[in-house]
Structure 1
Amino acid sequence: MSKQTDDLFKNIVSHAKEYGFVFQSSEIYDGLSAVYDYGQLGAELKNNLKTYWWKSMVQLNENIVGIDSAIFMHPTIWKASGHVDGFNDPMIDNKDSKKRYRADQLIEDKIDRYEKDGKSDKAAQLQKDLDDALNADDLPRLKTIIEEHNIVCPVSGTKNWTEVRQFNLMFATQMGAMADGAEQVYLRPETAQGIFVNFLNVQKTGRMKIPFGIAQIGKAFRNEVIARQFIMRMREFEQMELQFFVRPGTELEWYEKWKETRLKWHLALGSDPAKYRYHDHVKLAHYANAAVDIEYDFPFGFKEVEGIHSRTDFDLKQHQEFSKKKMQYFDPEINQNYIPYVVETSVGLDRLFLTVFANSLVHEDLSTEDKQDSRVVLKFHPAIAPVKAAIFPLTKKDGLPEKAREIMNKLKLDFNMQYDEKDAIGKRYRRQDAIGTPYCITVDHQTLEDNTVTIRHRDSMEQERVAIDQLRSIIGDLVSWNNLLDQLQ
């Protein structure tokens, strides 16, 4: 990472903390590694992103329904899914720093450095070597690659490495009143299995016909060894997943449809299309016959935000085998029983949050010939902005605060609002710019005469005079979910 991109990422992290979006978990106790809390504005933004996803999946699609499955699940589920035996990452330790790293990520970081240094041929060859080693599950080869390319520990700066070995990422705990009689269970490492084990429940009670989908938003837990890149890689995180059940033989057609649909969903938020790319998986998971990541160009390089996978019928077959319950669907159109195939779309909500935050944070130079000026602004799409509008009385006297409060009390029934009467009006605008508030409403002396106020638009900084009785409909139109959802139709 260059100094410029490193500074940009540091600005994102510091802005998120300074304005109440994201805090280090347990910070007064020196924090807990790779665990974060969402502050007052972060919680609002996160909830709005969940609402956008839920509306686009469940509300707009008649053949998709949502569920909320439990975090604790029967331990045999994780045996059936392959997580007990195969949910591992290749880890390597540095003997001097005592730090542990994912071997493949150390190599990927080296590939990024080669590309940034203009050594594209070296980067391509290293990528091929990495892919070959991963495909062959060749752990000694991974260590050899690290040594051949002089990859050092970021902390100690040395190449004193251990052998590469596999490390299971699931958190285990005990369920039961007595330690001796307790059963070992796991905190779920993904939300997908809660959908698969409820496939028949939803299909029968909802009278669902293939093709149909089940959507879910929920927490998942992975014992990530590497705590880095802020909320990009955490031990406790949130997923937004769709499992779409289709007739065998049609899965790749649906895979392409969902691949296109999901990128369109991201771009509707106002992101630069050049910041996104598809990255096809070279090494497919054992259950998949196609897989792609939607990646975003963060300050530290392109990283996955969402995955689309054609999972075949692996999951339902496994649960049929381990539970001894038939997981079949009778298709009246072809008069046939079969186990459906599945196309999955999986978004990391925390990564999406970071994507939106990084994409929206802008430093603008507003200098003129007469004076130097600048501002920091979060240009969130108005529909997802944590605060929709702020109300300012121009002064703290002459009845202006009372009038502003009167307007605030009416509008807060429909919108998340802020009231601010401290400091000069320009400073108040800058504070709202910094948290992404799209509209500021100023109550001045003219308001008392003709019941009009000034609306200031965040992005253009233009102002217009409007009647108070029109505010609800004006703000409502500007921040409406329709402005986002219409783009997806």
Structure 2
Amino acid sequence: DVEGLDATILTGPDVLKHSGHEDTFSDPLVDCKSCKSRWKADQLDNQSCPNCKSKDLTDPRPFNLMFKTSIGPVDDGSSFAYLRPETAQQIFTNFKNVLDSTNRTLPFGIAQIGKAFRNEITPRNFIFRVREFEQMELEFFVEPGSDGEWHKYWVDSRYNWWIDQGIDKKRLELCEIEKDELSHYSKATVDIMYSFPHGKEELEGIANRTDFDLGSHTKNQEDFNISSKVMKNKKSTTKLAVQNIFNKNWFIPYVIEPSAGVERGVLALLNEAYKEEKIDGKNSRIVLALKPHLCPIKAAVIPLKRNNEQLVNQAKVIKKSLQKLGLGRVMLENSGNIGKNYRRHDEIGTPLCITVDFETLENKSVTVRDRDTMQQKRLSPDELKDYYEKYFQ
């Protein structure tokens, strides 16, 4: 019930005008008159400049966070566009295109993963305040009146999804945003917070955006009973509405939006997966214990001796046969040192290491080592195929 979309990065100013971004997508900017540096007002301690400690500051003024770029050969300010500050708006403006080409009925969603851009005054906090980032958003369209139920569904669903990816639920927390702190379009928002080593950060937000978005971008707004406060849109040429199949009335769907930053999600998963383990009380190893479906390399096939042509050729055959199963990347690791190869693949999260040795040349069997338990078992070719498929499926 979800369609994928890959829309444009450049966004027309009319879209972001009616979405409210031109008026509300801003941070309070303060200038230091002494050292000429610029800061977000909420970054100041004791109303002094973080750079030179001067208190000779300007009054805060709004600074729009969108990147603007000129369109065409002449940069005279008359023709411009913005780099999209979020992936959501192109989903709304393409709503009718998706509806017409897929014949979807409510409820259904449109999802997009891609770059978003925000002209941060002072980028900081590692990946948490940057000017370019990867965003994943789902706009799930529902009938008015069912939005509360669907909002709860997506909060629960997204919370459990992060747990399924390997996040410890002890480090997750649901934070319901107070009404006086909600965005202008939101009826209700719940943030999924994660306890990073440096403190809690938002992992994902799930918002009930009501009919604000499609209501802002549709033509003939006066024909619909739009509940949100929207700007008059006289430039839209598209009706972003659906028809009730029973009474034939047209209405604007409500939207439930799960929205997450990809980088911070990956960082949370790496934080969960990274382990340093003691072995036999003396040695230690580093393990990236990612869930198997997230591991970039599913298996490493390792010939016991790198300069033995028979072992290497047999390893290539096994690597090719596993790759054909279509379960992910299989790597041929031909460096010759089994112990170091095991440690290397522990560190990058490879779940299985398959060793091709001289016994393999006799009966085609191989040794399979599990990353997490370090246990090894001998398997025949048929057993290897079954074991491999079950492990990743």
TM-score, reference length from structure 1: 0.71
The question of 1:438 aligning with 2:336 is answered no
CA distance 1:460–1:192, shift in 2 (3 Å): same
Q: In 1, are the aligned partners of 2:8 and 2:90 still within 8 Å (CA)?
A: yes
1:301 alignment partner, one of 199, 202, 223 = 199
The 3 A distance-change label for structure 1 pair 417 and 325 is closer
- 8 A Cα contact 1:92 1:161, kept in partner: no
Q: CA deviation at 1:161?
A: 6.5
Structure whose CA Rg is larger: 2
CA offset digits 1:263-284 (Å, max 9, x no partner): 1111001221011111222300
Higher RCO (CA-CA < 8 Å; seq separation 6+):
1
Q: Which amino acid aligns with 2:298?
A: K
C-alpha deviation, 1:98, in angstroms: 5.7
What does the per-residue CA deviation read over 1:429-478, in whole Å, with 9 as the maximum and x for residues that have no partner? 11111111111011111111221111111111111111134333322321
Identity of aligned residues (%): 42
The CA RMSD over aligned residues, in Å, is 2.3
Amino acid at match of 2:261: G
Q: Aligned residue for 1:287?
A: 185
Q: Does 1:396 align with 2:292?
A: no
Per the TM alignment, residue 101 of structure 1 is displaced from its structure 2 partner at its CA by 4.0
- Check the 8 A contact 2:306/2:336 in 1, yes or no: no
Q: Does 1:171 align with 2:67?
A: yes
Question: What is residue 221 of structure 2 aligned with on the other side?
Answer: none
Distance 2:147 2:176 in 1: 17
Provide the C-alpha distance between the structure 2 equivalents of 1:375 and 1:310, rounded to a whole number of angstroms.
45
Task: Quote the offset at 1:152 in angstroms.
Answer: 7.6
Q: Map Cα deviations across residues 173-219 of structure 1 (whole Å, 9 max, x no partner).
A: 01112334861100111111111111122223322212221111222
Given that residues 176 and 182 in structure 1 are in contact (C-alpha distance below 8 angstroms), is that contact kept between their aligned partners in structure 2?
no
Matching residue within 227, 241, 250 for 2:137: 241
Q: Does 1:199 align with 2:69?
A: no
Amino acid at match of 2:160: K
Pick closer, same or farther for the CA change 1:375–1:103 going to 2, 3 Å.
farther
Aligned to 2:211: 313
Q: Which amino acid aligns with 1:306?
A: E
Q: Tell me how far 1:304 sits from its aligned partner.
A: 0.9
Per-residue deviation at 1:93?
5.1
Counterpart secondary structure, 1:383: helix
User: 1:417/1:172 Cα in 2 relative to 1: closer, same or farther (>3 Å)?
Assistant: same
**TM-superposition CA deviations, 1:289-318 (whole Å, max 9, x none):** 101111111112111111100111111121
2:46 is aligned, of 147, 150, 166, to 147
Residues 54-82 of structure 1: CA distance to partner in whole angstroms, max 9, x if unpaired? xxxxxxxxx32222211123220010111
The SS at the match of 2:185 is coil
Q: How does 1:114-125 map to 2 (within 5 A)?
A: none
Task: Please identify which structure carries the higher helix content.
Answer: 1
- TM-score, scaled to structure 2: 0.88
For 1:427, which of 340, 344, 354 is the aligned residue? 340
Residue 407 of structure 1 corresponds to 318
How many angstroms apart in 1 are the aligned matches of 2:78 and 2:347?
50
Q: Does 1:278 align with 2:174?
A: yes
Aligned to 1:361: 274
| CA–CA separation in structure 2 for the residues paired with 1:465 and 1:94 | 69
Number of residue equivalences = 372
Distance 1:316 1:260 in 2: 25
Partner of 2:146: 250
Contact 2:133 2:263 in 1 (8 A): yes
